[in-house]
A and B are shown apart, each in its own frame.
Chain A
Amino acid sequence: MAIKISSDLLDGCVLGLLDNEDYYGYEITKRVQKSISVSNSTMYPVMRRLKKDGLVTTYDQPYKGRNRRYYKITDSGIEHLKQIRSDWNEFKTGINNLMGSEEIE
């Protein structure tokens, strides 16, 4: 994808993922990369920021003799996700109106 993704949208993508299920760091990166192009080192600062802002929390779970750190969305994270979703929908509709979406063509 050649279009630049803003950090707000990246936050929304991660919160959307975590809204379904809790994930650990490596899995988050790989799942985000299935849909959009981000580098492998992009997600750590994103997760840190989300945690700092109280939108996600972490908990450790034992796995094969070590701990895995899982990320879990918080209530304010869910609220924030709703906000980003509605902002995005508005933005998407506006852009599609101007540019014409593929289905219309």
Chain B
Amino acid sequence: MNKYIDELAGYLTRLNKSDLADTIEYYREYLIDGNFNNYDACVSELGTPRALANKILADESINTEHSDSTKYNEHDNTNSTMTIWLIIIAILGSPVWIPITGAVIILIIAMLIIAIAILLTLGAIIVSGIGSFFIVVFWSITNLMNHLIVSLLLFGLSLASLGISILLIPFTVGIARLLMKLIKSVSISLYKKTVRRNNAEKRRG
């Protein structure tokens, strides 16, 4: 039983200290009260430590998300990414492996890919805008004597392109935040509608 609890604790290091202690204490007590002494008995009661940990982490981040969403709207983007991955992991670890959960994972991954594609496109525009600024400035300065008018015109245009690129940066960051939040909330509701419900009603023999 101690081996089971130690492994579980090893998978839950992401939790803060008091949550971790609380969770471990609950399951330690649970296993003692149920007389689950050896490792295999623990696994057949609660599933593997990894699967149990994944479920705990997913439930935890959904609960936290639920109660804190009004307070931390601006700062939770790293959390967004984390929540999305935790949900995917929890779905993979759930005992109820039915076509719907597969479809849910594919849907979440598809949304992630679309989001990444949009961000990469915007990123490429910004990089090329800034890059072309330096190239054109170099050309216009070196050719200032030969083609004065053209050089001045290109110099002005490159400044404009630099300005637009820099303006695009906060815009891109904003879009990134929005997309991650959107995907997170969709993932959470999908998770609640499929895996969590199936777990809650799983028939016990």
Residues of chain A whose beta carbon lies under 8 Å from any beta carbon of chain B: 1-5, 7, 10, 24-27, 29-30, 33, 37-42, 44-45, 47-49, 52, 66-69
Binary contact readout B6-34 vs A (1 if CB under 8 angstroms, 0 otherwise): 00000000000000001101110110111
For chain B, the bracket of interface size reads: 20 to 34
Residues of chain B whose beta carbon lies under 8 Å from any beta carbon of chain A: 22-23, 25-27, 29-30, 32-34, 45-47, 52, 55-56, 59-60, 63, 67, 197, 199-204
Identify A41's interface contact among B25, B55, B60, B67, CB under 8 A: B55
Shortest Cβ gap from A5 to chain B (Å): 6
A39 close to B202 (CB less than 8 A): yes
B33 close to A44 (CB less than 8 A): no
Identify B201's interface contact among A38, A40, A68, CB under 8 A: A38
A37 close to B56 (CB less than 8 A): no
A44 close to B45 (CB less than 8 A): no
A contact residues around B27 at 8 Å (CB): 44
Identify A49's interface contact among B23, B32, B63, B202, CB under 8 A: B63
B29 close to A26 (CB less than 8 A): yes
A contact residues around B32 at 8 Å (CB): 66
Identify A42's interface contact among B33, B200, B203, CB under 8 A: B200
A44 close to B204 (CB less than 8 A): no
Identify A37's interface contact among B33, B67, B201, CB under 8 A: B201
Shortest Cβ gap from A29 to chain B (Å): 7
What 12 additional pairs, Cβ within 8 angstroms, besides A39-B204, A49-B63? Answer: A2-B201, A4-B200, A24-B33, A26-B34, A27-B33, A37-B201, A37-B204, A38-B201, A39-B200, A41-B46, A44-B26, A69-B29
